[in-house]
Amino acid sequence: MPPKSKRRGLKSIFAGLGSLFRPSKGSPRDEEPTAHDMPTVEGSPNNVHGLTPLGRPEGSTMGAATIVNASEDPPPPNSDVDPSTTERADRHPPLTEHTSSMSIFSNAQNFKLDNVNFNLSQHVHNTRDSRQGGWTMLLENIASNALHDSRARFDAPKCDEDTRVEVIKELMDWIQDREAPQRLLCMTGAAGAGKSALQQTIAGKCSKSNTLGSAFFFSAGDPTRNDLTHIVPTIACQLGLRNPALRDAIGNAIGEDPLIFEKTIGIQIDTLIVAPFQHVCASGRLDSSTFPHAILIDGLDECSGEDSQDELLSTIKHCLLDNDLPFRIFIASRPEWAIRSALDNEPEGYLYQLAYHIKLSDIHPARGAEVRGGRLGVFPSHQ
């Protein structure tokens, strides 16, 4: 039998161990040790839920007390956490941004909206996307080679200075007179008479004076500008670049009808030019009295097919002239059937009363015109 001193020592050791596993009576609850703070001995009085050490299910192979990370175990039985709370949280996860936005008005009654900025901004956003997308589609359907200042036409013939002075003055006076009754000018002449050189010169002067609305130069040898496929989009694009509000209106029109480029040129002119222009003018965002109004079309005879040439002339009459728009349209062509029959007075053509007709052969004989170095000069005829 061990001495009393040893027995007292053993008792004190066991008493110390017991204090580790059992809270002292009367101690505050927030000072009670938990299973996360200390090991639990299987079968101890605190194991009221029939769990193995540290709350592990029965059947665990752990035989000794072990201390593990508290985040890996469920809350201890004596904690303040109600297990049912965790179950409810699992069944009803917190609202995310998506679910809250979808159910914000769910089952709502007797309420009013003081601020509808969300819906308005969404509408503005969609409208902006529509017109930007429409304008992008327009750019994909133009013929950039047909522009008066395109890279493809960098060496286009022009009139030399101090040549064709009278004709140029007559053309510019007509363009600048916004009150003149005839808003269509047709200039005809034989091959080599200098029609394209005059058109190029007039385009440059109108561009400098800010009166050029658009220009389109046909060319039989260029598949992008030898028919009517791209003429209306190209003219509409140039007009839209002259005024931001008109540009937006054109882009929006295309966004509403993306198939517009597959339709007749009459529908295209109404949709891309007439309607947007009238709408922007009516809203006060465009002043037609100062808008660049000259539309130049050169080489109508190089548009393939006389029927196509006649279609363009008749469409210009019905869509632009009959609508009393402020545009002044200058067309140059050889005197082929389409333009000749439209301008004839016997029988009276549909443009006879509407067009101002200049015949280059009546002003300067063709034999007196020469092209030198890509520029046209008029020289006296030798008798």
> pLDDT tens for residues 225-244?
999 999 999 999 999 999 99
Give the CA-trace dihedral at 182, 187, 188, 190, to 10 degrees.
Answer: 170
Model confidence pLDDT, tens digit, residues 324-368: 899 999 999 999 999 999 999 888 899 999 999 999 987 654 333
Q: Are residues 223 and 339 in the same domain?
A: yes
Residue 116, domain member (yes or no): no
Q: Are residues 183 and 306 in the same domain?
A: yes
Mean pLDDT of the 97-104 span:
46
Quick check: 123 pLDDT over 80?
no
- Per-residue H/E/C for 66-87: CCCCHHHCCCCCCCCCCHHHHH
Residue 65, domain member (yes or no): yes
Quick check: 36 pLDDT over 70?
no
Quick check: 183 pLDDT over 80?
yes
DSSP letters, 11-77, are: HHHHHHHHHHHSPPTT--GGG---TTTS---TT-TT-TT--BGGGBPTT----S-----GGGSPPPT
Please state, in angstroms and rounded to a whole number, the distance separating the CA atoms of residues 281 and 288. 7
Please state, in angstroms and rounded to a whole number, the distance separating the CA atoms of residues 141 and 157. 26
Q: Are residues 76 and 142 in the same domain?
A: no
Quick check: 66 pLDDT over 50?
no
**Neighbour tally for 178: CB within 10 Å:** 13
Mean pLDDT of the 251-255 span:
97
Q: Are residues 58 and 167 in the same domain?
A: no
- The reported pLDDT for the residue numbered 108 is 63
- The reported pLDDT for the residue numbered 49 is 44
Quick check: 284 pLDDT over 70?
yes
Categorize the per-residue pLDDT at 82 as very low, low, confident or very high, splitting at 50, 70 and 90: low
Q: Are residues 207 and 75 in the same domain?
A: no
Mean pLDDT of the 115-138 span:
66
Categorize the per-residue pLDDT at 161 as very low, low, confident or very high, splitting at 50, 70 and 90: confident
Cβ pair 45, 51 in contact under 8 A: no
Q: Are residues 52 and 187 in the same domain?
A: no
- The reported pLDDT for the residue numbered 75 is 52
Containing structural domain, residue 156: 130-378
Residue 362, domain member (yes or no): yes
Quick check: 200 pLDDT over 70?
yes
Quick check: 74 pLDDT over 90?
no
Residue 299, domain member (yes or no): yes
Categorize the per-residue pLDDT at 202 as very low, low, confident or very high, splitting at 50, 70 and 90: very high
Residue 95, domain member (yes or no): no
Please state, in angstroms and rounded to a whole number, the distance separating the CA atoms of residues 192 and 194. 5
> Two tokens at 209?
């004076």
Strands 184-188 and 355-359: what pairing?
parallel
Residue 4, domain member (yes or no): no
Categorize the per-residue pLDDT at 166 as very low, low, confident or very high, splitting at 50, 70 and 90: very high
DSSP state of 94: P
Q: Are residues 66 and 193 in the same domain?
A: no
Please state, in angstroms and rounded to a whole number, the distance separating the CA atoms of residues 130 and 239. 19
Please state, in angstroms and rounded to a whole number, the distance separating the CA atoms of residues 145 and 365. 31
Is residue 165 packed enough to be buried (19+ CB in 10 Å), middle (13-18) or exposed (0-12)? exposed
Categorize the per-residue pLDDT at 17 as very low, low, confident or very high, splitting at 50, 70 and 90: low
Residue 225, domain member (yes or no): yes
Q: Are residues 68 and 170 in the same domain?
A: no
Domain termination residue (choose one: 68, 84, 100): 84
Q: Are residues 206 and 301 in the same domain?
A: yes
Quick check: 2 pLDDT over 60?
no
Total domains in the fold of the chain: 2
- The reported pLDDT for the residue numbered 55 is 44
Residue 32, domain member (yes or no): yes
Q: Are residues 137 and 79 in the same domain?
A: no
- The reported pLDDT for the residue numbered 132 is 83
Q: Are residues 51 and 165 in the same domain?
A: no
Quick check: 63 pLDDT over 50?
no
- The reported pLDDT for the residue numbered 333 is 98
Q: Are residues 79 and 178 in the same domain?
A: no
Global pTM exceeds 0.85 = no
Quick check: 112 pLDDT over 90?
no
CATH code, domain with 246: 3.40.50.300
210: left (phi > 0), else alpha (psi -120 to 50), else beta? left
At position 217, the amino acid (one-letter code) is F
